[in-house]
Amino acid sequence: MLEQFGLILLGLFLLLAPGFLLTLVLFPRWESLDPWSRAALSLGLGALVVIYAGVLLALPHIRMLRLAPFVGTVLLFCAACVVAAYVRGGLAVPLGYARAAMRALRRPKPPPPPQAGPAPEGGGQELQKPEPAAGQAPDEKQVGG
């Protein structure tokens, strides 16, 4: 049971990671793709990478289509994509996704409770605005210059 769960996680990783890294190489800017488009493109490109790795390893003169060489080939492709994404500046995109996720998960702080203290002087009445000077309209601001 645990072995099957591990293989399922490995399969998901092998399907999504190469595609996501390839989107970082092809579209290195945050604004190039919205997160849903990047996720869909990652899934499709990841499937292509996995298929091409399988075809490459199944060639008659290679005949190495087993789990270890397959995973190694996909990881080698991922390492090449990480280097290319670093050169093109695409590694800032996952950091932006992480920051956006942290902002979404951060809970707003509740407002502080009202402080119980002595009543304001003057019987709790609000302060009144001073009367405007003679010849000046109320709330008129003088502009210098």
* Amino acid 104: pLDDT: 84
Residue 27, Cβ density class (10 Å: 0-12 exposed, 13-18 middle, ≥19 buried): middle
| Domain presence at residue 64 | yes
| pTM, entire model | 0.68
For the chain, what is the domain count? Answer: 1
Give the per-residue pLDDT at 39: 93
User: Is residue 116 included in any domain, yes or no?
Assistant: no
Is there a domain that residue 15 lies in? yes
- Identify the residue with better confidence: 141 or 4: 4
For residue 121, being part of any structural domain is answered with: no
Beta carbons of 53 and 77 less than 8 angstroms apart: yes
List, as one string, the DSSP characters of 38-94. HHHHHHHHHHHHHHHHHHHHTSTTT---SHHHHHHHHHHHHHHHHHHHHHHTTTHHH
Q: Does some domain include residue 22?
A: yes
Whether residue 122 is predicted with pLDDT greater than 90 in this model: the reply is: no
Is 93 contained in some domain? yes
Cβ contacts of 48 within 8 Å, gap of 6 or more? 19
Assigned domain for 100 exists: yes
Paired tokens of 14: 């092998």
| Residues 49, 58: Cα–Cα separation, whole Å | 14
Mean predicted confidence (pLDDT) in 40-47? 96
Cα torsion 97, 74, 43, 23: sign: positive
Q: Could you tell me the residue range of the domain that residue 32 belongs to?
A: 11-105
